[in-house]
Amino acid sequence: MNNTAKAGIYSIGLYVLFLCIFSLGVFNSVTAKAAGRDTTSISPISKILLDKNGDGKADLIGQNVRISGRASVASSVFDDEYLMVYVQDRTGGILVFSDTLKHQIGLGDSLVVSGKLQLYSGKPEVMVESYSIIETKEKRVPNPISLDKAFEEPQKYSGMLAEGKAIVTQKNFGNTMAMLRISPIDSSDHSLYAFVSRSNTNYSDFDFDILSVGDHIRIKGIVEKYNSDYFNKTIYEVLPRTPEDIKYSGLPQQYRNVGLAVGWAILIIVGGWVMLLKKQVKARTNELTQALEERDTLMREMHHRVKNNLAVIASILELQKFQPVESVDELIEDTQARIQSIAKIHEKLYQTETLTDIEVREYIEEFSDVLFKTFNSSQKDIRLRRDIEPFRLDIEKAVPLGLIINELLSNAYKHGFPDIHEGDIKITLTKEKDTATISVADNGKGLPANFSITNGESLGTTLIQTLTDQLEGKIEVNQNGWTEFKISFPVSD
């Protein structure tokens, strides 16, 4: 090889080496940018507001934080120019603010917000550096706390949505705001200020002229802390978002004066209307309070039920320890199917509003499809037929029923057609008054002559008998061309 050729090869080698080094530098640059993303973990709002050292300020002031929650107000309500939204989770609420980012946040949006925690007028807020809106099936506005709690401990509930009844004890109007001093109806020991700034895009729609000192109102708004130069002290406010957040509980004072002037006839009519309105408001308040209490109770029951169902799985595994094992794969497959039957119930349960019952037909159809794909093979043509009546079933009944169906279907697939390549399995569920009947039947080879469901020694028959007793049901085994297991058990209407 001559010198010219060697020089050419050497030049090409240097060029390739340069490209590799340049590409590696670009890769490292991209990696560095990716590593620079916000990796701050999401914290509960109450945690970032902790004041462990007792200096009157949150310990994380000046630090970057990351929170999640739902918007208790749309971003264009309190200020039309800047991003100004209150975010609330189960533990607390806080204002998030930006004078640069566009505001596209709607009421009830689920948010993840990153930014620096800072003080403004003595109150902590998050200066937003970035935020994302999480897509959800529906927008749910955070549940308001009782206004009575805000009266007693406003510092604890700062940043959170509150709702309740109050009495107007003072009115103040200025060039930039309108303010009502309100107190609990049955006490004057505590007070808050209902404050509406002119920067509120709905300010012109509020009708404060009709309100008088002594009026009873029902108010909803965000509890907030403010260091007031006017009062020369820290005050706590309730910030209504729209005119619908302030409603009269009864008849305003001006209307009562007009009613007295007109005469007793109108007074009687108006008085009757006021009483009816108060009754409706009280009834609605009781309904909402009861709904919140029921929701909390349901959540506690859900945790309790999950724990119980995990105990059921543990008991099944304990029973399997004493069963002869012919195939580890088959043992794992059976256990997996039993766990799936319970998991599918909880999946359906979480999709309901009541968290107490499920639509049983939808559950059985989806669950049996999973079992069909698990146990059916391409070498056999086993058909699954279903005739299931739709009705709702309580979780206490649904779990044992799901496990029973799992055992019966698994046995039918595995033992009903060992040397038969074609057949049918039928699932039937009916409900008549307060009794439901589940039937699983197959036209396979049938049961052994000495089979007895009550004296069976296998784990499957033991589970079927035990779970039937848990349902307070009765089991029948029929063989008339088809092998049928029929279980009847009581249900509520």
User: Strand ranges (DSSP E) for 392-482?
Assistant: 392-394, 422-432, 435-442, 474-479
Averaged pLDDT, 448-468: 79
**Rounded to whole angstroms, how far apart are CA atoms 242 and 256?**
25
Tens digits of residue pLDDT in 82-126: 899 999 999 999 999 999 887 789 999 999 999 999 998 888 999
**Rounded to whole angstroms, how far apart are CA atoms 190 and 281?**
23
Q: What is the reported pLDDT for 284?
A: 87
Closest CA to 319 of 335, 300, 342: 335
Q: What is the reported pLDDT for 49?
A: 93
For 100, counting Cβ atoms within 10 Å of its Cβ (0-12 exposed, 13-18 middle, 19+ buried), the class is exposed
pLDDT at position 165 over 70? yes
Averaged pLDDT, 31-47: 64
The model carries a pTM of 0.46
Q: Residue 349's pLDDT band (boundaries 50, 70, 90)? A: low
Nearest 5 degrees, angle CA 77-CA 163-CA 273? 105
Closest CA to 365 of 416, 309, 405: 405
Tens digits of residue pLDDT in 395-423: 888 888 988 988 898 888 888 888 777 88
Tens digits of residue pLDDT in 1-12: 444 444 444 455
**Rounded to whole angstroms, how far apart are CA atoms 367 and 362?**
9
pLDDT at position 315 over 70? no
Q: What is the reported pLDDT for 302?
A: 57
The per-residue DSSP string of 31-58 comes to: HHHHHTS--PPP--HHHHT--TT-SSS-
Q: Residue 167's pLDDT band (boundaries 50, 70, 90)? A: very high
Q: What is the reported pLDDT for 35?
A: 33
Tens digits of residue pLDDT in 465-490: 888 999 999 999 998 889 999 999 99
Average model confidence (pLDDT) across the chain: 81
**Rounded to whole angstroms, how far apart are CA atoms 42 and 50?**
15
For 10, counting Cβ atoms within 10 Å of its Cβ (0-12 exposed, 13-18 middle, 19+ buried), the class is exposed
Q: What is the reported pLDDT for 339?
A: 75
Displacement of CA 268 from its chain's centroid (Å): 47
**Rounded to whole angstroms, how far apart are CA atoms 396 and 357?**
8
Nearest 5 degrees, angle CA 440-CA 446-CA 448? 120
Tens digits of residue pLDDT in 226-235: 887 666 788 8
The residue type found at 11 is S
Tens digits of residue pLDDT in 366-393: 888 888 877 776 667 889 999 999 999 8
pLDDT > 90 in the chain, percent: 38
Averaged pLDDT, 329-334: 66
Q: Which two tokens stand for residue 169?
A: 């004890």
Q: Which two tokens stand for residue 103?
A: 């505001």
First-last CA distance in the chain: 97
Q: What is the reported pLDDT for 310?
A: 64
Q: What is the reported pLDDT for 418?
A: 80
Location of structure tokens 């566009």: 102
More confident site: 475 or 308: 475
Averaged pLDDT, 290-317: 64
pLDDT at position 356 over 80? no
Q: What is the reported pLDDT for 24?
A: 38
Displacement of CA 359 from its chain's centroid (Å): 19
The Cβ of residue 486 has, within 10 Å, a number of other Cβ atoms equal to 16
**Rounded to whole angstroms, how far apart are CA atoms 22 and 121?**
51
Averaged pLDDT, 199-209: 89
